[in-house]
Amino acid sequence: MASLEELKTTRLHKLDLIKKFGMDPYPAEVPRDHCLADARKSFADYEKSGKAVNLAGRIMAIRGQGAIMFVVLEDGKSTFQAVFKKDVLDAKLFELFTSAVDIGDLLSVTGTMFKTQKGEESILVTGWTMAAKSLLPLPEKWHGITDPDERLRKRYLDFIMEPETREIFKKRAAFWRMARKFFEERDFLEVETPTLEVTTGGAEARPFITHHNDYDMDVYLRISVGELWQKRLMAAGFPKTFEIGRAYRNEGTSPEHAQEFTNLEFYWSYADYRDGMKLAQELYRKLATEVFGTTKFEVKGHNVDLAAEWPTIDFSEEISKQTGVDIAKATEKDMMAKLSDLKVTYDGTNKERLIDTLWKYCRKNIAGPSFLVNHPVIVAPLAKKLKEDPSKVQEFQIIIAGSEIGKGYSELNDPIDQRARFEEQAKLIAGGDKEAMMPDYEFVEMLEHGMPPTCGFGFGDRLFATLAGKPLRETQMFPLMRPRK
């Protein structure tokens, strides 16, 4: 079997043949009247009229020999067969095709529509020109790219060889388009907020740090989609806002985690977390129905129906039920001992991080869809406390197939309480907690001017990946990959 370098050398020779013929192997434009799908749609009209047509696409297959060649063209929307006959095409062009054209080349063909003896809709080629000569071969048709990392690294080849992979991204585009439409129809204003921040806010995660040369200061890539900024807009008199944008977290990679991802966050003044629960449920059902055509999904061994009732689950009660730990009374030592018994690795030994780790252990056993409620204050520094139990907050998380697929709460708008909670987060940071939330005292100053009661909610790529039944990175066109050594 020839090496990749030997194959490239052969194709470079063919490139030279094309140039010597006087044909530009990489022209700026080529004749093309229709995409291949439209050519199929209008085939009968063109066949009847006998009018010449110009089509273009990548060669995916070549068969035949001698005086006739059958070529399959593909352009991302459809395929179409082009037939090269020696007694129809100029002899020199036919010879150049047989000696210099390969599978993988991009070609423009001119000809008339006809049906082969087997009834296949085709174009009988009377002329052709190279659109782009490929110097490297496509992956072997039946096996594709077998290395999963290489497949993600060379996504363009994955898309060429696996059309169903392209369909995922058409659905993903429809998913975010429908989400945007959902909020626009309900009078939410789409906004853009900074992606570079002096302090990160809106989540507990490790940020990426970069340097602003003009201001000579370090800044952070945002870890949420404008939470503290959109709350400023609530104070400024914008009643409903949403943003769809990228967020960045300098954390591990897993089927549910990536360092860069798309999120949507909305903020709704004079609404609370219960209003948010109703709106989020309506949104999820709408996305499932419109994008996937169903509300029923099988994900990670769980059967999920978004049209069914969504029960509420108490945070502390669920942990106690599954692990026997009463997080209101247990010490850090108690929780570490339980996590060790459960063979769960934990990162951080303060109470907030240990409670969060216990919950993540429990979460995977919940099929959902469910609303998780009654979180302890310690794990929700931006949420308003429950009136009936100030040790808990007005927060909800949506649990689907053992994963957190969205979070919202009644936003804390008491500046005194918010300052105190930021000070607690500052202590965690000083103690080495790299995921604790950075205090933003300018945000507190905004609250001192007054922000109306507000519900905020966020969800992201994980929802689409879950409903699509794919790992998160499979639903990103070009996920971050470690460079080859």
pLDDT score recorded for residue 141? 65
DSSP letter string, 122-186: EEEEEEEEEEE--SSPPPPTTT---SHHHHHHTHHHHHHH-HHHHHHHHHHHHHHHHHHHHHHTT
pLDDT at 167: 94
Which domain, by its residues, includes 286? 159-311+368-475
Asked whether the predicted pLDDT for residue 25 surpasses 70, the reply is: yes
Does 130 lie in the same domain as 22?
A: yes
Given a contact cutoff of 8 angstroms between Cβ atoms, the answer to whether 385 and 425 are in contact is no
Assess whether pLDDT exceeds 80 at residue 144: no
pLDDT computed for residue 142 by the predictor: 53
Q: What is the mean pLDDT of residues 57-63?
A: 96
- pLDDT beyond 80 at 269: yes
Using DSSP's 3-state secondary structure scheme, residue 402 falls into coil
Residue 484 has pLDDT above 90, yes or no: no
- 171 and 301 inside one domain: yes
Is the domain of 281 the same as that of 405? yes
Question: What does pLDDT average to over the chain?
Answer: 93
Dist. CA 334–CA 70, nearest whole Å: 72
Question: Are 118 and 170 members of one domain?
Answer: no
Q: Say if residue 431 is in the same domain as residue 288.
A: yes
CATH of the domain at 408: 3.30.930.10
Q: Give the rounded percent of residues in the chain with a pLDDT score beyond 70.
A: 99
Percent of the chain with pLDDT over 90: 81
- pLDDT(324) > 90: yes
Each residue of 196-249: pLDDT tens digit? 999 887 777 889 999 999 999 999 999 999 999 999 999 999 999 999 999 999
Lowest mean pLDDT across 69-78, 204-213, 332-341, 430-439 = 430-439
Both 79 and 201 in one domain: the answer is: no
For residue 306, what pLDDT is reported?
A: 97
Q: Are residues 176 and 130 part of one domain?
A: no
Q: Are residues 180 and 299 in the same domain?
A: yes
Q: What is the DSSP string of 338-401?
A: HHHHTT---S--SHHHHHHHHHHHHHTT--S-EEEE--BGGG-TTBPBPSS-TTBBSEEEEEET
Number of domains in the chain: 2
Whether 320 is in a domain gets the answer: no
In a domain, 467, yes or no: yes
Looking at the fold, whether 95 and 193 belong to one and the same domain comes out as: no
Q: What is the mean pLDDT of residues 172-191?
A: 98
317 domain residue, yes or no: no
pLDDT-derived band at 351, boundaries 50, 70, 90: confident
Residue 140's pLDDT band (cuts 50, 70, 90): confident
The number of angstroms, rounded, from the C-alpha of 128 to the middle of its chain's C-alpha atoms is 39
Asked if the structure places residue 233 within a domain, the reply is yes
- What per-residue string of b and e applies to 225-240 under the rule 16 or more CB within 10 Å gives b? bbbbbbbbbbbeeebb
pLDDT at 49 over 90: yes
Say what the pLDDT of residue 313 is: 96
In a domain, 236, yes or no: yes
Q: Which of 104, 138, 172 is the last residue of a domain?
A: 138
Domain limit, last residue, from 138, 173, 189: 138
State whether 267 and 400 are in the same domain.
yes
> Does residue 251 or residue 467 have the better pLDDT?
467
Across the range 73-99, mean pLDDT stands at 96
Instruction: Inform me whether the pLDDT recorded for 72 exceeds 90.
Output: yes
Which amino acid, one-letter code, is at 444?
V
Q: 286 and 396: one domain?
A: yes
Whether residues 109 and 200 fall in one domain: no
Q: Has residue 1 got a pLDDT over 80?
A: no
Q: What confidence tier does 436 reach under pLDDT thresholds 50, 70, 90?
A: confident
DSSP 452: -
pTM: 0.89
pLDDT at 143: 60
- Please tell me the predicted confidence (pLDDT) of residue 482: 86
Q: What is the pLDDT of residue 148?
A: 84
Q: Say how many C-beta atoms besides its own lie within 10 A of residue 477's C-beta.
A: 14
Query: Once rounded to an integer, what is the mean pLDDT over residues 46-54?
Result: 95
Q: Is 466 helix (H, G, I), strand (E, B) or coil?
A: helix
